[in-house]
Structure 1
Amino acid sequence: MKTTRQLARQRRQRRRLVLGAGAALTAAGVLAYLVMALLPGHETDAGPAAAAPLVTAQPKAAGAAGTGSPAVTASPTASASPSPTGSAGPKTATPSATPRPSSTGVPRPPREASGTTSLSGRIRPGASYQGVATAYEAGVGDGACLFGPSPDLMIAAMNTTDYETSRACGAYVHVRAANGKSLTVRITNECPLPCAPGQLDLSQQAFAELADLKVGRLPITWSLVSPGSVGTMSIRYKTGSSPYWCGIQVIGHRNPVARLEVSTAGGWRQLSRTAYNYFLSPDGSGCGKAIRVTDIYGERLTVNGIAVRPNVVQPTQVQFARH
Structure 2
Amino acid sequence: MASSSHRRRPQQKPDRDFEWRPVRGPLVAVAAVAAVALIVTLVVAFRPDAAAGAAGQDRAVSGSVSDAVTSAAATPKTPSAPKPSTTTPTAGRRTTPSASASVSVHPSAPSATPARRSAAGASSATTTAPAAGRIRPGTSYQGVATSYDVGNGGGACSYGPTSDVMTAAMNTADYETAKACGAYVSVRAASGTSITVRITNECPAPCAVGQLDLSRQAFAKLAPLSAGRIAITWSLLSPATSDTVSIRYKTGSTQYWCGIQAIGHRNPLARLEVRTSAGWLALTRTDYNYFLSEQGTGCGAEIRLTDIYGEQLTVPALAVRPDVVQRTGVQFARH
Q: Counterpart of 1:97?
A: 100
Bigger relative contact order, structure 1 or 2 (CA pairs below 8 A, ≥6 apart): 2
TM-score by length of 1: 0.68
Match of 1:182 among 190, 194, 213: 194
Distance in structure 1 (CA, Å) of the matches to 2:94 and 2:309: 15
Q: Counterpart of 1:279?
A: 291
The amino acid that maps onto 2:297 is S
Q: Counterpart of 1:75?
A: 85
1:1-323 equivalences in 2 (<5 Å): 75-78=85-88, 96-97=99-100, 110-113=107-110, 119-323=131-335
TM-score by length of 2: 0.66
- Deviation, 1:179, is 1.0
Q: Gaps spanning 5+ residues in structure 1: where?
A: 1-61, 63-72, 88-93, 100-107
Q: Counterpart of 1:7?
A: none
- Deviation, 1:84, is 9.7
SS in 2 for 1:132: strand
Distance in structure 2 (CA, Å) of the matches to 1:195 and 1:116: 32
The amino acid that maps onto 2:100 is A
CA distances 1:63-106 after superposition (whole Å, capped 9, x unpaired): xxxxxxxxxx9735456x9989989xxxxxx961269xxxxxxx
SS in 1 for 2:146: strand
Q: 1:296 to 1:111 in 2, by over 3 A?
A: closer
SS in 1 for 2:221: helix
- Over the aligned positions, Cα root-mean-square deviation in angstroms equals 2.8
SS in 2 for 1:309: coil
The amino acid that maps onto 1:264 is T
Distance in structure 2 (CA, Å) of the matches to 1:262 and 1:82: 45
- Deviation, 1:140, is 1.3
Whose Rg is larger? 2
8 Å contact 1:97–1:128 — kept in the other structure? yes
Distance in structure 2 (CA, Å) of the matches to 1:109 and 1:178: 23
Aligned-pair identity (%): 63
8 Å contact 1:95–1:126 — kept in the other structure? no
Q: Gaps spanning 5+ residues in structure 2: where?
A: 1-79, 112-127
8 Å contact 2:249–2:324 — kept in the other structure? yes
Aligned residues: 237
Distance in structure 2 (CA, Å) of the matches to 1:289 and 1:142: 28
Q: Counterpart of 2:15?
A: none
8 Å contact 1:172–1:186 — kept in the other structure? yes
Distance in structure 2 (CA, Å) of the matches to 1:247 and 1:168: 18
8 Å contact 1:132–1:199 — kept in the other structure? yes
Q: 1:125 to 1:95 in 2, by over 3 A?
A: farther
Distance in structure 2 (CA, Å) of the matches to 1:86 and 1:116: 18
Runs of 4+ in 1 over 2 A off after TM superposition: 73-79, 81-87, 108-117
Q: 1:216 to 1:269 in 2, by over 3 A?
A: same
Distance in structure 2 (CA, Å) of the matches to 1:318 and 1:86: 35
